Structure 1
Amino acid sequence: MIHNLSRSRAAEVTAMAAVAASQAGFAVMHLTQSDAVNPVATPVSSYALTWPGIVLFPASVLALALACAILAGRGVGLAREGFIRFLLGSTAVMLLCAAIFRTGTPESGLTWWAQIHRYSAGAAFVLLTVVAALCAMRMKDADVPDWVRRGTWWVTGLSALTFLTTTVNTFLPGFLDGGDWRGVGQRVLLVVLSALVWILVANSIRARATVPARTATPAMTATAGRVPVGERSADTSGVAVGQVGDAVPALAGTRS
């Protein structure tokens, strides 16, 4: 039932709306909390500490998790995509944890729930980057639109480079003063990987729309060529009567 639901038209609309809602939520946070959060030096999760990010941040993350969960159920429109779907499902779980467990405040420090948030968000970024790379390689010889193939390759390159930079800035903040501008890399990752989810949803919808209609089974084809029993009986009886009627005079003439 869940498998069929994820492949329905409602699931397609929900996935697209979820990605759009997630992007809109993060955009609103950046616009409304520009005075409270420094987008250059502060991580994206800092928006969850002030209004309206207290509501918008988890809602936006959950919306992205929903889109990944739907993709995990319906696929991304490629052959042999079981592992990719597993990674997307794992991404949805990591995003769920990142939404539930809030980051730490300057007063609380790096608490256990803040660490869960931190590593869950990082794992989600890693998993989506791996998904992008796998999809890009699979799309090389697949029958997909050129914009999907090129877009996936661009996402793979940008996310891998940005993730590497963000990792260095996070764990080695003194290297090239990366700790002062680590927020930039996180925001680039957020935009790029959100675009990846949108591309995969779009390709999944395209692939489902281009699947040819099911052909009739051999049993259905054989049945279609048969004449209904009632009509066959009527026709057979008519032929039999005619044949008998035509044969009677010949026999009578022979006997005489």
Structure 2
Amino acid sequence: MRRELFRTRAAEVTAMAGVAAGQAGFAVMHLTQSDTVDPVATPVSSYAVTWPGVLLFPASVLSLALACAILAGRGVGLAREGCIRFLLGATAVMLVGAAVFRTGTPESGLTWWAQVHRYTAGAAFVMLTVVAALCAVRMKDADVPEWVRRGTWWVTALAASTFLTTTVNTFLPAFLDGGDWRGAGQRVLLVVLSALVWMLIANSARVGVRTAEPVRVPALPATGPAVAATNAEAGVPAFAGARS
């Protein structure tokens, strides 16, 4: 009963709207806060400390969390997807944590809530990357559209390489001056992994429509008195031993 609720058309539209709202919110923050936040050098979470990001950042992250939660409930359209659904549900929880606990500021320093924000956001990115890899492997021989199959491979490659770069830039900021452009990698991850969620929702919707199609059962040939009456009207002679 609960899973059927997640498989409804309303749940599908809500999940799609969640991804769209999240991306729209981040786009607005990039446009309206470009004078205070450097998109190349500054982490995405820096938008949360000034207006309008104070509201838009948690709202955008929660919208993406809602999409992941619905996708965890409805599945991604694969035969074996228990681990994938678990990771999507865990991602939703981590995104809620990243939205609730705000990042630190230069004045506050690295507080405990900033630490929670950092690790929950990082865990969400990691788990979505693992989801992309699992989907890419399991969709290799599955009945899915080619663009979804190729898309999961591209997302896996881009997310893994970008995440590796972002991790190095975070913990080794002096390496190749990576600390000066670590924000760019986070934004690539945000766009690529949001696209992954959108692709998985689209594939689950396709499978849901195909499953809901009625099975056509061929009609059995009519027998009995009705056939005999029809034959008599058409002038077809009755064979010996046949009932009329």
Determine if the TM-score, normalized by the shorter chain, exceeds 0.5: yes
Query: Is residue 2:21 matched to residue 1:21?
Result: yes
Question: Counterparts in 2 of 1:69-84, with a 5 A limit?
Answer: 69-84=69-84
The CA deviation at 1:3 is 1.9
Cα distance between partner residues in 2 of 1:17 and 1:212:
23
Equivalent residue, structure 2, for 1:187: 187
Query: Deviation digits for residues 217-253 of structure 1, max 9, x if unmatched?
Result: xxxxxxxx9xxxxxxxxxxxxxxxxxxxxxxxxxxxx
The CA deviation at 1:214 is 6.1
Q: In terms of Rg, which structure is larger? A: 1
Equivalent residue, structure 1, for 2:207: 207
Cα distance between partner residues in 1 of 2:45 and 2:154:
25
Query: Is residue 2:110 matched to residue 1:110?
Result: yes
SS, match of residue 211 in structure 1: helix
Equivalent residue, structure 2, for 1:49: 49
Q: Give me the TM-score of the superposition, normalised by structure 1.
A: 0.83
Equivalent residue, structure 2, for 1:162: 162
The CA deviation at 1:137 is 0.3
Cα distance between partner residues in 2 of 1:212 and 1:104:
48
Q: Which runs of 4+ in 1 moved over 3 A?
A: 212-216
One-letter amino acid matched to 1:170: T
Cα distance between partner residues in 1 of 2:31 and 2:96:
24
Cα distance between partner residues in 2 of 1:161 and 1:98:
22
Question: Counterparts in 2 of 1:128-143, with a 5 A limit?
Answer: 128-143=128-143
Equivalent residue, structure 2, for 1:96: 96
Equivalent residue, structure 2, for 1:39: 39
Size of the alignment, in residue pairs? 219
Structure 1 residues 7, 212: closer, same or farther in 2, change over 3 A? Answer: closer
Q: Determine what percentage of the aligned residue pairs are the same residue.
A: 81
Q: Give me the TM-score of the superposition, normalised by structure 2.
A: 0.87
Between 1:4-13 and 1:109-118, the stretch displaced more is: 4-13
Cα distance between partner residues in 1 of 2:26 and 2:202:
21
The CA deviation at 1:40 is 0.7
Structure 1 residues 10, 168: closer, same or farther in 2, change over 3 A? Answer: same
The CA deviation at 1:136 is 0.3
Structure 1 residues 212, 100: closer, same or farther in 2, change over 3 A? Answer: closer
Q: Which sections of structure 1, spanning at least 5 residues, go unmatched?
A: 217-224, 226-256
Cα distance between partner residues in 2 of 1:47 and 1:2:
36
Cα distance between partner residues in 2 of 1:155 and 1:79:
21
Cα distance between partner residues in 1 of 2:206 and 2:169:
38
